[in-house]
Amino acid sequence: MNAIDKHSPTHILRSHKSRVTSLVLHSDHEYGSEPILLSGDENGVIIIWNAITRRPLNKIQLPADVQVIDLHYLDDKIMVLSKDHSLRIYTNFVETFEMKVNTLNFANISIFPNSQENEYTMVCCNTSNSENIDIYNFFDGKMNSLSRLFNSVSFMDFIGMHSLLGRDFGKMGILMKIIRDDTRGIIFCGYESGTIIGFKIANTKFATFEKNSYIKVILLSKFHYPNPILDITLDVEKGILLSSSTEKQLEEIDYKHCNLFQDTQNIDDYFIDINQNIIMNKELWSESYVTNAIKTNHGKISHLCLLKDQIVYSTWSGKTVVIDRATNVEKDLFWTSRSRVAVSESSQGNIDPNRSKLINKDPKFEKIGAMAVFDPLVTDLSALSQKKNLISPKLRRLEQYVHQSWCYVGYNNGNIAAYRI
């Protein structure tokens, strides 16, 4: 079965004037029962959309028009990582926190709430070395609350110390991608070398370590080596990690068992880096991870998302592909064609036919800057089933939306195309 080419999206959101660089869909928020879409662009514009009415609800403009790199929506707060090396938090659209973060390599961050109100932990690139990571704790609204739990963690030093990826493995390269399984508390980092490391932060004392917290590595993979990790996505319910690189294949890892090993205080059971407070269970390291290679028809896969029954990915060339998870068969193929006609911005126009020409060897498709997907949620459907007696256009639109799977693609021309899949 051949993939079905779909040139036209279901609808297009048009408010950005520059390249869309980040997209986040959220269903649990302060705006009500309708899903929202957050979008950011390279000129520092952040728009909150009502996904049902397709209209902007609000807007944030970052200082100095700096590029949005990463967006998060937590506890009704908008958290923005931007190219001016800053993380900003907005509460009710008022900036309540700012800190400096290394963004030289455009890597994203992982940020998640802690036990206390307004307390968060962040994993990001080290301040001066993009191959290492820093881990911070802070309270939103308290600028002096910032504390660094781990400084310049070098997984390369730990791996090299014990030859965990073979003696020929030489360098991790810069950090490319960070993602967290919020259910299991596992953080995954993907690197320029094609390596993926999964770890947990343990807030207890281990054996002879002096600190009251340590890093427990639970997964190592160099499936994509030596090609860089371009994206990572998770199926948290099934404990599945999916990663992409420049090759025409994806790596699928079942990491559920990595979380099942019981901790001991016997240091002989672990590979240990006492200087960095890092450990890895030797038995876990010696086991073979359940890894599956998924062949694809396209390489250079820059964006990757998982639905319950489908894999959605987009490429550097501007194509978005939908794959059936059970059969790995392509189902849909989306793109937006670029205008290849050179347009003169002169007020006098251009009457010389020799100067009206096609843009020389420009890409056929509009390049993609961000992607997000919506999967029908059981909780939404359950809530709707209790309101069947209500007749309203708003409720009908909501019901129609949440019964579908959606893919939002942000393009270099500023448009956000919504595809029903």
Mean pLDDT of 286-310: 91
Whether the pLDDT of residue 174 is over 80: the answer is: yes
Rounded Cα distance, 174 and 107, in Å: 9
Whether the pLDDT of residue 345 is over 70: the answer is: no
pLDDT of residue 360: 43
| Amino acid identity at 201 | I
| Amino acid identity at 212 | N
pLDDT of residue 191: 98
Residue 172 CB contacts under 8 Å (≥ 6 apart), including other chains:
131, 155, 156, 159, 191, 192, 193, 195
Whether the pLDDT of residue 387 is over 50: the answer is: no
- Take residue 253 and report the two structure tokens written for it: 């890892």
Residue 311 CB contacts under 8 Å (≥ 6 apart), including other chains:
242, 250, 294, 304, 305, 322, 323, 325
**E-assigned strand segments in 109-268:** 110-113, 119-125, 133-139, 142-153, 175-181, 186-191, 196-202, 214-221, 231-235, 240-244, 249-254
- How confident is residue 398, by pLDDT bands cut at 50, 70 and 90? confident
- Take residue 124 and report the two structure tokens written for it: 């990001």
pLDDT of residue 397: 85
Mean pLDDT of 267-292: 89
Digit-coded pLDDT (tens) for 157-170 = 999 999 999 888 98
pLDDT of residue 382: 54
Whether the pLDDT of residue 391 is over 60: the answer is: no
Mean pLDDT, rounded, of the chain: 89
- How confident is residue 3, by pLDDT bands cut at 50, 70 and 90? low
Whether the pLDDT of residue 335 is over 90: the answer is: yes
Digit-coded pLDDT (tens) for 71-116 = 999 999 999 999 999 999 999 999 999 999 999 989 999 999 998 9
Whether the pLDDT of residue 262 is over 80: the answer is: no
Question: Looking at per-residue confidence, does 8 or 32 come out higher?
Answer: 8
Would the pTM of this model clear 0.85, i.e. be above it? yes
Sheet harboring 270-273: ordered strands across? 175-181, 186-191, 196-202, 214-221, 278-281, 270-273
Whether the pLDDT of residue 353 is over 50: the answer is: no
pLDDT of residue 384: 44
